[in-house]
Chain A
Amino acid sequence: MDAIILQILNGLDKGSAYALIALGLTLIFGTLGVVNFAHGALFMIGAFCAVTFSRLLSVSHEVAVPGEVDFLGNPMMRDVPYIYDILGEATGAAVIDWAVPLSILFAIPVMIGIGFAMERGLIKHFYKRPHADQILVTFGLAIVLQEVIKYFYGANPIPTPAPSAFTGSFDFGALLGFDPGSIIYPYWRLVYFGFAALIIGAVFAFLQFTTFGMVVRAGMADRETVGLLGINIDKRFTIMFGIAAAVAGLAGVMYTPINSPNYHMGMDFLVLSFVVVVVGGMGSLPGAVAAGFLLGVLESFASMPVVLDTLPGINQIIIYLVAIIILLTRPRGLMGRKGVMED
């Protein structure tokens, strides 16, 4: 039982990342009708926003350490961040410690800017083009973005730890009456899950309860009619693209303490998130979220030793197997509408 609870937690956590990326993909697809293969790259750029921000905070000057030498026999130099000089060592260290959550503030404008630039500069010209063209051009863009990141940051993963207040894990075991230590869960992963829930909730609320959201939803349902009503749908769509980029970027920022970011993390997530979107049903926001969590949980269950003993290798294929079964039993995924991307 405790094993199952733990795997459900894991599944929800994995599902959070899938759901956030799938949500952004669906927002773009649903509103703009564009299949954005560069969405994984946006997630990756978000993660590198965190890396950049924490590097900016730790920009340092060198101070010689008396009496020590480095590996070549030169005097040993120690890096002292400028922020120590400005805020004092204690405050400076605390700010650097909190770099990841603080970089949210940095990432939001950057990601919205990148989103605007992408939509105005490239995507806009592809509204009328076939989906295959959209896939190809955004895929090309994804390659370019990831190579640019690789050029500046290298191919190795870059550790970006969570604030020290969030290291360690929470003991659910004691709370739920199991043996202490049997169900423990890392604080930061709980934070990530909560953060994902918050973002998903905010996006839904935004679409549901604001006039802007209403217009966008109307645009998703029937773009031409809304345009005929004299509403400038294009501008709103640009803003929607910016929001979707920010959602992917924030998902990336908060993901960095869970796994050290590297330049190909976007591609690693891309295909899975596409499976998630399609299993959820093209163009359905609740479907994307539900499928994200569903596949996350199933993937976690499939990696339990008990399951692997009976079905070796099932952890390798579970997501694809489930995708096939769902698509064969429900022709348009969990909540897809008829006629969307079926031709």
Chain B
Amino acid sequence: MSKSNLTRRGLIKTGAVAGAAGLTLPTYLRADGHSGFTNAPTGSTVTLGFNVPQSGPYADEGADELRAYELAVEHLNGGGDGGLLNTFSSKALDGTGILGKKVEYVTGDTQTKSDAARASARSMIEKDGAIMITGGSSSGVAVAVQALCQEAGVIFMAGLTHSNDTTGKDKKANGFRHFFNSYMTGAALAPVLANNYGTDRKAYHLTADYNWGYTTEEAVRTSTEAMGWETVGTVLTPLTQTDFSSYIAPVLQSDADVLVLNHYGGNMVNSLTNAVQFGLRERVANGKNFEIVVPLYSRLMAKGAGENVKGIFGSTNWHWSLQDEGSKAFVKSFGTKYGFPPSQAAHTCYVQALLYADAVQRAGSFNPCAVGEALKDFSFDGMGNGPTLYRGEDHQCFKDVLVVKGKENPTSEFDLLEIVEITPVEQVTYDASIFGGELGACNPGA
């Protein structure tokens, strides 16, 4: 954009006239020799922007993300017990901030609305000079903010976003995702479902009527059908629906023996609660026990559904009961600081913050293009998911996926899920081209 921008030159001339007043370009557009990118940090500090839902239905998840970011900042600046810095396979970070600059942060409220999320991201970039934006708790917001960061020329490190689109159709050169996606959920879940429930099953899908719902339904359908399951019905439910009884009732009339709830958040809590009310768990269909599946689990949502999650299969990105060194270190520092174990949203956000800092350190520059290069095809370990690859073609992390199940006898309000299987990364890897979309070129801004 620096080439076609005539006005700026015009304004620079005005600046020369203004002389004494010192008219310069705003930091986020500055194109002077030594930086050449948006919001290049000049002082002894660097500002990161944490854009999380603080109001609206995902506020609790957002609060947990924010706790994780605060912890990450503390660790990056050398405070606390260092957390995952001790187990991270890359040793570039040394607890002196990023490239010797102390890490500071600003926060914004996405309200889980694309518009509001972009507004708060813009304000962090334009007003506070944030060099990187991270966070979020839904795919719509992630895709919208990712596109904004691409335009503005800053790096976007996605928070909790599970739709294939984030690193598929809508991928962007400046955007990176650590969280897993719908495709991986399907690939990991299907074999476990086939093992537990057999290959001769008839599934009925209830799907939230928006992009994430579509991609999740498609992924679970394709991979279960490959196992021999038959899909006997799919119904789209409005996102604003609160009472799902009229969608559950037709399941009773169908010859289905599995119900797949492609819902997340409040939708998931309500549809699962309603399904259990209608006695689907005690039901016998086609001579088999009726089963319910929730493809994407979150501990916070499991808590909302209470007793109803017991024994129900799903997948998750990470869980605090994992016993590898990285997970143990993270649970320990988070638990010590806040008094309860972190959620998967907190984990992915913490890891994203560290990965960004590490990439800057290794690249030796905050320039988004240099950071992007450092993250591309970067392999690392010790962050709680086993060996992980940041694939260069679509900026998606590839790592093991957890298949979990609602615990029958929880020992505390956080102990709601138990890990059934850790699906190895090979099983969930796919070809980058299957979802289409183009990364485009990295944009350093000015």
Using a CB–CB cutoff of 8 Å, the interface residues on chain A facing chain B are: 2-3, 6-7, 9-11, 13-14, 17, 68, 70-72, 76, 150, 154-159, 161, 167-169, 181-186, 188-189, 258-260, 262, 264-265, 268, 299-300, 303-305, 308, 312, 315-316
Contacts and interface: CB of A to CB of B under 8 A. Distances in A.
Contact of A259 (B55, B273, B279, B321): B273
B200 to A, nearest CB: 20
B289 to A, nearest CB: 13
B286 interface: no
Contacts of B106: none
B60 A260 contact: no
B411 A303 contact: no
Q: Which of B252, B274, B335, B336 lies at the interface centre, i.e. has the most chain A CB atoms within 10 A of its CB?
A: B252
A268 B242 contact: yes
Contact of B238 (A13, A70, A181, A315): A315
A232 B413 CA distance: 53
A2 B254 CA distance: 12
Nearest to A312: B236
Contacts of A154: 59-60
Contacts of B415: 71
A10 B304 contact: no
7 contacts: A68-B411, A157-B269, A181-B283, A268-B242, A303-B235, A303-B247, A308-B235
B242 A259 contact: yes
Interface residues of B, number: 51
B306 A159 contact: yes
Contact of A2 (B56, B238, B253, B308): B253
Contacts of A265: 242
Nearest to B332: A72
Contacts of A186: 277-279
B70 interface: no
Interface in B259-287: 266, 269-270, 273-274, 277-279, 282-283
Given A71-B341, A268-B240, A316-B209, A10 B58 contact: no
Interface in B404-443: 411-412, 414-415
Contacts of A156: 60, 300-301, 303-304
B233 A305 contact: yes
A15 B414 CA distance: 36
Contacts of B236: 308, 312, 315
Given A76-B411, A159-B305, A264-B57, A184 B246 contact: no
A159 B307 contact: yes
Interface in B285-334: 300-301, 303-308, 320-321, 331-332
Given A71-B414, A150-B59, A155-B57, 13 more contacts: A13-B245, A155-B55, A157-B266, A157-B304, A168-B279, A182-B253, A184-B252, A184-B279, A189-B245, A300-B246, A315-B237, A315-B238, A316-B238
A186 B282 CA distance: 12
| Top-10 shortest CB links A-B | A159-B306, A155-B59, A157-B304, A300-B246, A186-B277, A169-B279, A303-B246, A10-B246, A156-B60, A6-B249
Contacts of B341: 71
B246 A14 contact: yes
Contacts of A10: 245-246, 249
B242 A70 contact: no
A9 B278 CA distance: 12
Contacts of B414: 71
A6 B301 CA distance: 29
Contacts of B233: 305
A6 B59 contact: no
Given A71-B331, A158-B304, A304-B246, A6 B253 contact: yes
A71 B253 contact: no
B81 interface: no
A260 B279 contact: no
A262 B304 CA distance: 9
Nearest to A187: B277
B273 to A, nearest CB: 6
Nearest to B320: A71
Contacts of A70: 411-412
B364 interface: no
Nearest to A2: B253
A10 B251 CA distance: 13
B79 interface: no
B243 interface: yes
Nearest to A300: B246
